[in-house]
Structure 1
Amino acid sequence: MTMIQWFIFFLIIQVIHFLGTWKLYIKAGRKAWEAIVPVYNAIVLMKIINRPKWWVILLFIPIINLLMFPVIWIETIRSFGKNSRLDTVLVVLTLGFYIYVVNYVYDVTYVEDRSLKSRSELGEWISSIVFAIVAATLVHTYIMQPYTIPTSSLEKSLLIGDFLFVSKFHYGARVPMTVVAAPMVHDSLPLTKLRSYLKKPQLPYFRIPGFEKIKRNEIVVFNWPVDTVRFFFDKSNIHIDKPIDKKSNYVKRCVGIPGDSLEIKDGYIYINGKQTVLPDRAKTQYLHKVVTNGQLSATLLNRYNVTEGSFYGDYYMLNLTDENAAKLKNNPLVKSITKQITPSGNYNKAVFPHSPLYPWSGDNFGPIYIPEAGKTVELNSKSLPFYKRIIEVYENNNLTVNGNEIFINGKLATTYTFKQDYYWMMGDNRHNSEDARYWGYVPFDHVVGKPVFIWFSWDTNGQGIANKIRWERVFTTVHGSGKPVSYLYYFLGALALWFVYSFFRKRKKEEG
């Protein structure tokens, strides 16, 4: 839906609200016209139902408002004496239209000083649960979201089984575009595998201003731009059209930012002609063919920090950093080590931009330009493979090609100006990462947030509970330099102090 369509929809809602409540406003001692003035009518309604004015803000926050509307409906009818369980069920099941019956059919009286306390323990319990969900959804959607690392594409920096907190406010929280969706879940409902959202209506893209921009080589969580799968690991059910904010969540390192020229030479990234220097925590890995005199023990492989590899009888294929490959080469059991780099000029059709005009591979790639909002590029048959998806899909234009002529929205085009920023996201595990080399640019409207904290880490291959928990990774930061430091004991100390403080505060209050 466009902004104009949403504005019209908003006005219709105001009319519906007015027609269903104007008599109730009068019975509460207000004026009938107060029920139709946008925003002001919500403020007045909060006074009528004896609830704080800041609740109005919650009514205009996407996703949160879906949780608040039933609460407001129930509070409204209870303010006019309709307190039975049947009344509550009816107002919820009719999506609030039961208020029309209360407004026009019943001769109700406004209860000005009604008690806000629930009449039963069940009601109190439900009320607490509802507002806990509202608070948690608010934090999850606009402040901080939990996230689990499912693959090894950022191995060494982030491990499979790391549980992260992803900040929404660093780059600016993206207002959910999918209006009707279950709170605190992504694209499917737990256990049922049912879709957790309705595709329509959709809000226009909007992002609350952040306090920093994405920096080169930062780790970023984003929605996979070319996602058409039903579930993250299920590639059998494809060609699913998903809203942007319900596409699968990916986490990669942003190796190129808007305006950069990026090239990959023999597996190494070059930005604007210079080889990029990754943070010291980033450990870039490549597949190596390791020919040996026999099998290498698990203890030896652990010594070289090998977490991925296969044995083929007379040689291994191991994922190694350059540093570990050099160390392993000196082992007397090793005959030779060869990094598996695809030479320049070997065309891989799976590699972006998927055109024989550019015979590139995942190891020798580019150079390419990373689009920047407001910048203009020439548009022709050679440049179109890079920008075709941007023009058609990410920036919603109608593009047609007739011979050597390119038409955008029916007009001949020789240049194109980008509407938003784009980024180049790659995994540190170079030969085991499905990243931008295979599907291209990531638009800024697909960016979810910045991972900032590892609050838990679980190793499924560990022996015993104690070894399955990676204690050294619990409560560590994602970014930064040097060896990660765990803040677990600081957290536990602060928690203990809080419990002691709460205990003595409660005791003092009881004595007083």
Structure 2
Amino acid sequence: MPLHHLFVVYLISILLVFLPSFGLAKLFKKAGVASWKAYVPFYNTWVMQDIAQRPKHWVFWQFIPIVGWFITPGIFIEFAKVFCRFSFGDHFFAALFAPFYFPWLAQNKDARFIKAEGVKHHQKPAWREWVDAAIFAVVAATLIRIFIFEAYVIPSSSMEKTLLINDYLFVSKFSYGPRIPNTPLSVPFVHNYLPGSSLKSYTTLIELPYIRWFASPVKRNDCVVFNFPEGDTVVNKDGYQSFQPYYSLVRMYGREEVQKNPEFQPLAVHPVDKTDNYIKRCVGVAGDSLKIVDGIVYINNQPGNIPPTSATYYTFRTKNNTPVDPDFLRESGIRLNMESNSPDFTAMQGGYYSINLTLPELDILKKLTVIDPNSIAKDVSPAGYTEPFTFPFDTVHYKWNRDNFGAIWIPKKGATLTLTKENIALYRRAIQVYEKNTLVENPDGSFVINGTSTNKYTFKMDYYWMMGDNRHKSQDSRYWGFVPEDHVVGRAAMIWFSYENGPRWKRFFKIIK
């Protein structure tokens, strides 16, 4: 954790215990304790625990980063009890609004000092026991979700056949360092919308800058969960969101048409931590040079790692035009997802078939006696063919497609790039949106960044290139570019449950590679 982050953490901890001191001083006096002790951060909570006869080790827990912020309110609640305050409302305000609550309590005539012995004679109603237990569970689970791990479910086939639809994962937050929420005021256990509605589950009344503790860079070939980079603005209705991204619609129809067309309304704007979660494999890290040739990824001019479960499309024919069907191929050991919008196996004209295979499954196909092995060919877009909706959406300078792409340099924190009218399309969004700079592009090819004329830019963050293992059925960096480090959520660590027409027992507790 950087030193300035640690400083901020403990500054907040000190303020939490110091700001209520003006009310605590008068309450200390009522309890027979010198009032000056209320103004000494952390010593005051030691004295409060002594007065309430509660465990002193709670005071030391306050020094644990973040966790301590949740211990301090507990100490305040226990102290309020010795002044005969047992209601849920009292404890709510003591925990969340201590700087205002304790000065009010000090002036309240009903605030009688009953000592710890008086607290022991108070019996909580049964409903309070349940409420207190529920609050504790929510707080504990929220801390675990933010700082240790989070559950995630695979919604689409973009990572097949590594991760399957309805695989339930644990995502490790410690792998790259826990990220502090940009929007801390949100409904627990809910991402960006309230269940069953289009209402946001959070408020931007308080927004925090990007902070990651114990930061560690993403490693090449990791399976990574991250916030969708183009998800800051979405069409907030079924069928759109990240399935048909707003920026894709803008590139297709024009911004003005999208914003005035009622079909594309309403729009919703999300901060980084509330954009939709994606899961892909990191094939390129900051500083890498990446290109794709005939569907093969090259990193720094060397062939990249190909996961054995990575799938791509092939075409083939059978001997004597013998018909084959999905059931026959499944019985042979080939897994096929026959979803209607993008099936893994289809019959084509001229007696050819199209099939989505991993390399081990390709070996199985070649050995089937009904298959003509000489007819098997990878189904890739040819070099020179331009797909206009591949990144960076500049068909004048970049005639790329999903199978023949690049070369492209992935930005690295601290690295300085010379900007040109050719490469600005690659890095414009990173400079303007992710790193929040003003950028003016002059007709003569020069640039003005934050009011200064320059053709150099030094990146403030590391970036990554993410691709799905199911290469021809994945919306990934080939279609929206780089993933900034502040969008990284965590590493997919383990499948804890999997379901398809019943539990897939062999996938339970499988480590993700």
Q: Where does 1:280-319 land on structure 2 (aligned, <5 Å)?
A: 282-290=308-316, 293=321, 295-302=323-330, 303=332, 304-307=334-337, 308-311=343-346, 314=349, 316-319=353-356
Aligned to 1:149: 154
Aligned pairs (5 A) from 1:42-441: 42=45, 44-49=47-52, 50=54, 52-54=58-60, 56-57=62-63, 61=66, 65=69, 74-84=77-87, 87=90, 97-113=100-116, 114-115=119-120, 119-210=124-215, 213-227=217-231, 228-229=233-234, 230=236, 239-279=267-307, 282-290=308-316, 293=321, 295-302=323-330, 303=332, 304-307=334-337, 308-311=343-346, 314=349, 316-325=353-362, 327-328=364-365, 331=368, 336-356=375-395, 357-403=397-443, 404-441=445-482
SS of the residue 1:438 aligns to: helix
Alpha-carbon separation, structure 2, partners of 1:155 and 1:421: 27
**Residue equivalent to 1:457:** 498
Please say if residues 70 and 96 of structure 1, whose CA atoms lie closer than 8 Å, have aligned partners that are also in contact: no
> Alpha carbons of 1:443 and 1:128: their partners in 2 closer, same or farther (altered >3 Å)?
same
Contact 2:410 2:465 in 1 (8 A): yes
Change in Cα spacing, 1:27 to 1:349, as seen in structure 2 (3 Å) is farther
Amino acid across the alignment from 1:287: Y
Quick one: distance in 2 between partners of 1:429 and 1:340? 13
For the residue of structure 2 that corresponds to 1:448, the secondary structure is strand
Opposite residue 142 of structure 1, the aligned amino acid is F
- Cα gap change, 1:107 to 1:470, in 2 (>3 Å): closer
Q: CA deviation at 1:20?
A: 4.2
- The SS at the match of 1:22 is helix
2:243 and 2:72 map into 1 onto residues whose CA distance is 35
**Alpha-carbon separation, structure 1, partners of 2:507 and 2:28:** 57
Residue correspondences, number: 465
Q: Which residue of 2 aligns with 1:506?
A: none
Say which SS state the counterpart of residue 472 (structure 2) adopts: coil
Measured in 1, the distance between the counterparts of 2:122 and 2:191 equals: 34
TM-score (norm 2): 0.80
The alignment status of 1:471 with 2:505, answered yes or no, reads yes
Secondary structure of residue in 2 paired with 1:351: coil
Higher alpha-carbon deviation: 230-239 or 20-29:
230-239
Aligned-partner SS, 1:53 = helix
Cα deviation digits, residues 335-394 of structure 1 (max 9, x gap): 744433111122222111111211111110000111111111111212211111111111
Equivalent-residue separation in structure 2 for 1:234 and 1:70 (angstroms): 44
| Overall identity of the aligned pairs, in % | 39
Q: 1:186 to 1:411 in 2, by over 3 A?
A: same
Shift of 1:448: 1.1
**Residue in structure 2 matching 1:22, options 19, 22, 25:** 25
C-alpha distance in 2, partners of 1:117/1:290? 79
What is the Cα-based RMSD across aligned positions, in Å? Answer: 3.4
Distance in 2 between the 1:277 and 1:93 partners? 50
Quote the offset at 1:318 in angstroms.
2.5
Distance 1:244 1:410 in 2: 26
| TM-score (normalizing by structure 1) | 0.80
Paired with 1:234 and 1:273, the residues of 2 have a C-alpha distance of 33
CA distance in 2, matches of 1:117, 1:416: 65
**Correspondence 1:5-20 to 2 at 5 A:** 17-20=20-23
Q: CA deviation at 1:283?
A: 2.2
What SS does the corresponding residue of 2:430 show, helix, strand or coil? helix
CA distance in 1, matches of 2:121, 2:265: 49
Residues 454 and 473 in structure 1, CA contact (< 8 A), matched pair in contact too: yes
SS in 2 for 1:163: strand
Give the superposition deviation at 1:111: 3.2
Deviation at 1:414, TM superposition (A): 1.4
More moved, 422-431 vs 6-15: 6-15
Letter paired with 1:147: Y
Superimposed CA distance per residue, residues 211-232 of structure 1 (whole angstroms, 9 cap, x where no aligned partner): x542211111111111133455
**Distance in 2 separating the partners of 1:295 and 1:96:** 77
Give me the whole-angstrom Cα distance separating, in 1, the residues matched to 2:432 and 2:30. 55
Q: Secondary structure at the match of 2:62?
A: helix
**How far 1:316 sits from its partner (Å)?**
4.1
Q: Give the conservation status (yes or no) of the 8 Å contact 1:117–1:124.
A: no
Cα distance in 1, alignment partners of residues 153 and 96 from structure 2? 36
